[in-house]
Amino acid sequence: MNEEIMRYHSLFSIKDQQICQLLAEGINANLPDSQCNIWHGSPVWFIDDNPIVGYTKLKDCIQLLFWSGQSFDVEGLGPVGKYKAAEVRYVESDEINSVQLSQWLRLSVSIQWDYRNIVKRRGELLRLK
């Protein structure tokens, strides 16, 4: 696992580290061709420099965010922000459904909005793929 991400995990309680570890393992297993780094302070996975999925520590949970998640048309993800992002929040590691996570990650590859060029397009998102 990426050393930066391991440092990120080490900042949290054991319970939150377990959640982060499970998410990172699931994402890495399902997105083997993606690149991952710490972006704006949190682990984010990219495909062709376009952010796909990431997670962050919030006050009382770990938030898993899919940049194009509102377009997945599946249960379990809630809208967040004014664009196409969707989230799920975890308090315990046993809340993570690995089958559901894999489904969302497969969808994140096939359904992408162009966040890489959102600033250049002044907030307009275009569908990729």
Average pLDDT over the chain, rounded to whole? 95
Angstrom CA distances, 97 to 4, 50, 70, 74, 92, stand at 25, 25, 19, 14, 11
Question: In CATH, what number is assigned to the domain containing residue 26?
Answer: 3.90.1150.200
Q: What is the mean pLDDT of residues 17-39?
A: 97
Q: What percent of the chain has pLDDT over 90?
A: 84
Residue 9's domain spans which residues?
Answer: 3-128
Contacts for 38 with CB less than 8 Å, ≥ 6 apart = 4, 5, 8, 44
The secondary element (H helix, E strand) that includes residue 6 is: helix 3-10
Per-residue model confidence (pLDDT) at position 129: 65
Q: What is the mean pLDDT of residues 99-107?
A: 98
Q: What is the mean pLDDT of residues 1-11?
A: 92
What total of structural domains would you count in the chain? 1
